Amino acid sequence: MDPRVEKFMAQIVAKNANEKEFHQAVQEVAESLIPYIEENPKYKHAKVLERIAEPERVILFRVPWIDDKGEIQINKGYRIEMNSAIGPYKGGLRFHPTVNLSILKFLAFEQVLKNSLTTLPMGGGKGGSDFDPKGKSDNEVMRFCQSFMTELCKHIGANTDIPAGDIGVGGREIGYMFGQYKRIRNEFVGVLTGKGRQYGGSLIRPEATGYGAVYFAEEMLKTRGDSFKGKIVTVSGSGNVAQFATEKVNQLGGKVVTVSDSAGFIHDPNGIDAEKLAYVMELKNVKRGRIKEYADKYGCEYYEGKRPWEIKCDVALPCATQNELNEEEAKTLIANGCFVVSEGANMPSTPEAVELYIKHKILYGPGKAANAGGVAVSGLEMSQNSLRLSWTREEVDQRLHQIMKDIHATCETYGKESDGFINYVNGANIGGFVKVAEAMLAQGAV
């Protein structure tokens, strides 16, 4: 490791003990930024890197709620307000039993640079709870969301901090939280994004992260004169991001052969076409069932307890969760001829996997660039709420597409190496950093 990175990381680890995901996210960024900062000493003197690694504010609270049996349950609630240099805090809420301070701080840290890359005026934040929506009734989810918002509403606002969805938080949860915010604060404002269409949501917000990750991959393919036509694509996950990534790949002429959930993955060599995708959407969004049922219905292979990276493909789209693709799996992907990885999830590849992508010079789009389409359309939802207007599907999709092209161009500007190879990791980290750093310099020691 570069000794300068080592020294910086020693401080981060000492100050944030036992937060391994946070260390991982910061180290990846530090490896890109420290050499850049050495060449641009104004950022060094102002300690911008040290400052962006410390949240502006961390809010921790108790979330008590009553389950269907009448028993009191207690969960933890969090909101990390990471950086507001270029706009109000913005970022999703995650409800999952693995949620802890380390995971939310890594996500909030990534969000700062991601939001900057979108070109929209949004700072970075993240929040959530260790509440597990799996197996809970609608009423339990509603009571939990109401209790969560009863406390959270004291800290957020349409000009302060605007949460949205992430794992375990979709349209249903946003609706319950919006209702509670409005009731307590007595104001109808765009304090959350990912809202339903009837009460201020934007068209294309559900599609945005998945579509965006595919648009980004398409831009990467174009740099080699290639396209999605005829490509075999492996997707992990089967939630919102995976579903709409699959839809967009189909539209562009590729073939998606896998989707997964936490229990295993299905391999459908014939491709998950529009009809089968509609089945996945119904299964996951309405019936809230397991992906194994797909294999039973369509008579294809189901791999219990496994991840899809052993399947031969040209393009891999990790759309499930952090650290879901390790060194061994990256080796297998590359040995099987995969040459594009575009991350729909946040930090799905381990550092060792990323090192292999770069070594083999494949087209690798890290999450903070490739999955920025979700928060970008959240930003467009905020604009529409402020205007009290709503744009058409075509208009939002066209803006999303342009934003993904712009993010790709930024990565190219900051990540192109002397032999023409685009290092998208450096490109995204430096490209995201510069805007935030300049704003922080202008605002003084805050």
Binding mask 65-104 for ligand GLU (x = CB under 6 A): -------------------------xxx------------
Q: Which of residues 35 and 121 has its CB atom nearest to ligand GLU in the complex?
A: 121
CB of 164 to ligand GLU, least distance (A): 3
If one asks whether residue 248 binds ligand GLU (CB under 6 A), the answer comes out as no
If one asks whether residue 166 binds ligand GLU (CB under 6 A), the answer comes out as yes
If one asks whether residue 164 binds ligand GLU (CB under 6 A), the answer comes out as yes
CB of 14 to ligand GLU, least distance (A): 28
Pairing of strands 363-365, 340-342: parallel
Distance CA 203, CA 381 (A): 8
Task: Enter the tokens of residue 446.
Answer: 């805050």
If one asks whether residue 156 binds ligand GLU (CB under 6 A), the answer comes out as no
Q: For the chain, how many residues are written?
A: 446
Distance CA 418, CA 299 (A): 49
Cα-Cα-Cα-Cα dihedral sign, residues 219, 224, 230, 232 = negative
CB of 28 to ligand GLU, least distance (A): 16
Task: Enter the tokens of residue 255.
Answer: 């073939």
CB 124 within 8 A of CB 108: yes
Q: Which of residues 156 and 283 has its CB atom nearest to ligand GLU in the complex?
A: 156
Distance CA 154, CA 191 (A): 12
| Terminal-to-terminal C-alpha distance of the chain | 31
Q: Which of residues 133 and 374 has its CB atom nearest to ligand GLU in the complex?
A: 374
Number of residues counted as binding ligand GLU (CB under 6 A): 10
Query: Is residue 42 annotated as part of the catalytic site, yes or no?
Result: no
Per DSSP, 126 falls in state: E
Backbone angles phi, psi at 94, to 5 degrees: -115, 125
Q: Which of residues 88 and 254 has its CB atom nearest to ligand GLU in the complex?
A: 88
Binding mask 186-225 for ligand GLU (x = CB under 6 A): -------x--------------------------------
E strand or H helix that includes residue 58: strand 57-66
Comparing CA positions, the residue from 302, 244, 229 lying closest to residue 277 is 244
* Single residue of 259, 375, 400, 403 touching ligand GLU by CB under 6 A: 375
Backbone angles phi, psi at 49, to 5 degrees: -65, -45
If one asks whether residue 368 binds ligand GLU (CB under 6 A), the answer comes out as no
Binding site for ligand GLU (CB under 6 A): 90-92, 164, 166, 193, 346, 374-375, 378
Q: Which residues are catalytic?
A: 126
